[in-house]
Structure 1
Amino acid sequence: MRRFGRTIVTAALAVAVVAGTAGWASVDSQAAVTGPPPGTAAWRADTAAGRALPDPATAGPHEVARFFAGLDEGARRELLRAHPLVVGNLEGAPLPLRYEANRLAVLATGEARYASLASPGRRILAFDPRGRGQVAEVFGDPERAAHVSVIVPGSDNDAQSHDAPRTPGTGPAGMARALWSATGGAAGDTAVIAWTGYTTPVGVGLDAAGGRLAEAGAVRLARFTAGLDAVGAPDPVLLCHSYGSVVCGLAARHTDAADLVVLGSPGMRAETAAALGTKARVWAARGPSDWIADVPHVRVAGLGHGADPASASFGARRVPAADVVGHTGYFAAGSRSLAAIAAIAKGEAPRDGAPTGDLR
């Protein structure tokens, strides 16, 4: 009876928090952008060298890769020019072709807020202008790198804010740049991808407390990692920050990730690392001043994300975070957390040992 009472109190606290009475922001609900990219109808009606084009809604990334492998360069570029939004977001298509397609798609929007994404030298692996926009940017070369890491961000990230001024080492692109630099940059053998490929919550309200957007994001993340596999990239390290860790938790069993690292996590919708159903090693970190520690780790009526991945009982390996400041400081230059994350990204972390305390 006493345990039941504690559960009710905890549940009431959780509902109070997510409802805004404990200081969380109340914001409008976001509509998840899902399904194939704009221009899919015209793509389906087209052909290449007399062949039907793979349906973006049903064709798997490996099927897409085989299709493009059977086309000559002229046919590939013809599709790129005719259907840039589809080619740029088609998992399994050659990466250089996607970079060029997305440059054309960004320019075609004619919107100043996206113009910098088309700058020379940038590698935009996905660009979808629907809603607040989705974007993925590559640092390095995933097809030739020995290691690939994917940053999965949390709330308030989208294509519109991708290039907004931020504190160094924060935001998807800032985290990716910091990690790429820490792993050796152009002189290293690690590629890093900033993946804002799902509709994130805005603020810390009911969307952030629920799993609806994470469920939609998990489907997209699983397909994205399958696309990396289809072009020959190595099994990725997924680096999941804040609400992004909810996405990663739901996607874990459907990816070929080598490592799964969660930072400032509100929960992964699993009670233990083993319950994620993944062969990946699971790592977790939470800084001493990260406000996420105040979020109740419960699930009640669809709200909350469950057990704390940074707790010993969850069973994740620990990433040192004693010098992390706030909720977004995990990739700060010179920090022990960034050094540890870089070691995991480069495949230099211990392969065995106890579940916790492997990185100090």
Structure 2
Amino acid sequence: MVFVLLATTGWTAVRQQNGPVETRAAALTAWKQAVIGHRALPDPESPPGVLARFFSSLEAGQAASLADRHPLVVGNLNGAPVTLRYRANRIALAQERQVEQWRASDGRLSAAGRGEASRRVHRYESLLRPGRQILAFDPTGKGRVAEVFGDLDRARRVSVIVPGVDTDVLTFERSKRRYSAPVGMAQSLYTAERAAAPAVRTAVIAWADYTSPSGVGLDASTGRLAAGGADRLVALTGALPGRSEVSLFCHSYGSVVCGVAARELPRRVRDMAVAGSPGMRAENAAGLGTDARVWAMRDAGDWIKDVPYLKVGGLGHGADPVAPGFGARVLSAAGALGHTGYFEPGTESLSNFAEIGVGSYRTVSCEDGNSGCRRGIYGAEVS
């Protein structure tokens, strides 16, 4: 019955997840066989603190040499200095661009294969533009990537955008429907945060560093991919530099990822705001097992409201986060206009996100028009 409901509300598979060979696997093998001086290199899966201590023990030239020799590893190490990761990922992107340029002109590939290679070349060239800060990059499969806006090392407040289905290296940014893609979302939020609190040092991460479902099919109706994404999100938030407070902004299936991650998130994650959520794999906010404040919003015209809010036999994601019984702080999404408009400039949804991101809770707009969603927060208005 659940499967039929999911299918009839548009949750149907649209394509297979295929892509290039796993070049990162070869990079990891090379890393494990390498040394620096007479020292073996640490396990890439080591805790961030272990990796941070390793890199702090290196001379600047040694660290740069590792980034140059092993860019696909160093660029994705939680615990490595962020500026070193930026350097490594520029090298990795340049190398992968060269590979895709060759594939785009290889007559042995199908027209579709050459077309995808050409699109990757275009994307990598965009990501290589001066000033871009690529925090993570992996070309495997459909590709994963994350980008930072602002100074992550000096930020007092860090916002992480966790996007939903069909997020990969090719959809990381868009020229049309710009604010429906992670880069546009992050740029919009960073601009809004700077306007809301110019004196607060902020940074925003467009985080597409997990494997998301392709289309709204079976994968989108289960928590399988969300579990993998949750592990990566926990690792990211635990490895951010300094003592910044962190807010998560989770859109659509990204809210499933955040819900699964909630119990393991570090205490520095103070706020979790979901928009257009199909559920968070919990029956209420308390069931998430987090000390973070849980916020939720949904535009009246968002099609996600028609998805069955239930979980049976592994299908579905549980209760509706904007329902009164869930216990989230429900925000206004006025102006969002549908499922992908929450980060559009000029909307109350974006304004609310920005106020949460800078910690200005007094000025968020509640869905009920009163101050109920601000109740109990220190310094916020109460009714």
- Do these two structures clear the TM 0.5 threshold for a shared fold by scoring above it? yes
CA contact (8 A) 2:89 2:135 kept: yes
Q: Secondary structure at the match of 2:190?
A: helix
Greater CA deviation, 160-169 or 268-277?
160-169
For 2:355 and 2:81, how far apart are their aligned partners in 1?
A: 29
Q: Tell me if 1:347 matches 2:359.
A: yes
Paired AA for residue 55 in structure 1: D
Q: Tell me if 1:179 matches 2:167.
A: no
CA contact (8 A) 1:144 1:233 kept: no
Q: Is the alpha carbon distance of 1:212 and 1:279 closer, same or farther for their aligned partners in structure 2, counting shifts above 3 Å?
A: same
Per-residue CA deviation, residues 89-141 of structure 1 (Å, 9 max, x unaligned), is 00010000000100000010123132211111000000000000000000001
Partner of 1:140: 150
1:217-228 paired onto structure 2 within 5 Å: 217-228=229-240
CA contact (8 A) 1:32 1:216 kept: no
Aligned partner of 1:104 among 84, 91, 104: 91
Paired AA for residue 154 in structure 2: R
Paired AA for residue 194 in structure 1: A
Per-residue CA deviation, residues 258-317 of structure 1 (Å, 9 max, x unaligned), is 100111000000111111111111100001000000001001111100000111111011
Partner of 2:111: none
Aligned partner of 1:25 among 1, 4, 12: 12
Partner of 2:302: 290
CA contact (8 A) 2:19 2:140 kept: no
CA contact (8 A) 2:303 2:339 kept: yes
Q: Which has the higher contact order (CA 8 A, sep 6+)?
A: 1
For 1:72 and 1:105, how far apart are their aligned partners in 2?
A: 22
Aligned partner of 2:60 among 63, 73, 77: 73
Q: Is the alpha carbon distance of 1:233 and 1:41 closer, same or farther for their aligned partners in structure 2, counting shifts above 3 Å?
A: farther
Q: Is the alpha carbon distance of 1:292 and 1:223 closer, same or farther for their aligned partners in structure 2, counting shifts above 3 Å?
A: same
Q: Tell me if 1:163 matches 2:173.
A: yes
| Number of residue pairs the alignment of both structures matches | 342
Q: Tell me if 1:63 matches 2:50.
A: yes
Q: Is the alpha carbon distance of 1:32 and 1:160 closer, same or farther for their aligned partners in structure 2, counting shifts above 3 Å?
A: closer
For 1:294 and 1:89, how far apart are their aligned partners in 2?
A: 38
For 1:41 and 1:114, how far apart are their aligned partners in 2?
A: 24
CA contact (8 A) 1:175 1:331 kept: yes
For 1:244 and 1:325, how far apart are their aligned partners in 2?
A: 19
CA contact (8 A) 1:266 1:305 kept: yes
Percent of matched pairs sharing the same residue: 51
Partner of 2:212: 200
1:1-360 paired onto structure 2 within 5 Å: 12=1, 14-18=2-6, 20-28=7-15, 30=17, 37-38=24-25, 39-57=27-45, 59-109=46-96, 110=98, 111=100, 112=121, 113-184=123-194, 189-228=201-240, 231-256=241-266, 257-350=269-362, 356-358=372-374
Paired AA for residue 79 in structure 2: G
For 1:23 and 1:145, how far apart are their aligned partners in 2?
A: 41
1:49 to partner: Cα distance: 3.1
Paired AA for residue 203 in structure 1: G
TM-score, normalised on structure 1?
0.89
CA contact (8 A) 1:319 1:341 kept: no
Greater CA deviation, 218-227 or 285-294?
218-227
Q: Secondary structure at the match of 1:162?
A: coil
CA contact (8 A) 1:29 1:206 kept: no
Q: Is the alpha carbon distance of 1:314 and 1:323 closer, same or farther for their aligned partners in structure 2, counting shifts above 3 Å?
A: same
Per-residue CA deviation, residues 126-171 of structure 1 (Å, 9 max, x unaligned), is 0000000000000001110110000000001111221332323221
CA contact (8 A) 2:11 2:218 kept: no
1:36 to partner: Cα distance: 11
For 1:50 and 1:138, how far apart are their aligned partners in 2?
A: 34
For 1:91 and 1:32, how far apart are their aligned partners in 2?
A: 25
TM-score, normalised on structure 2?
0.84
CA contact (8 A) 1:270 1:276 kept: yes
1:233 to partner: Cα distance: 4.8
Q: Is the alpha carbon distance of 1:32 and 1:273 closer, same or farther for their aligned partners in structure 2, counting shifts above 3 Å?
A: farther
1:356 to partner: Cα distance: 4.4
Q: Is the alpha carbon distance of 1:192 and 1:203 closer, same or farther for their aligned partners in structure 2, counting shifts above 3 Å?
A: same
Structure 2 unpaired stretches of 5+: 101-120, 375-379
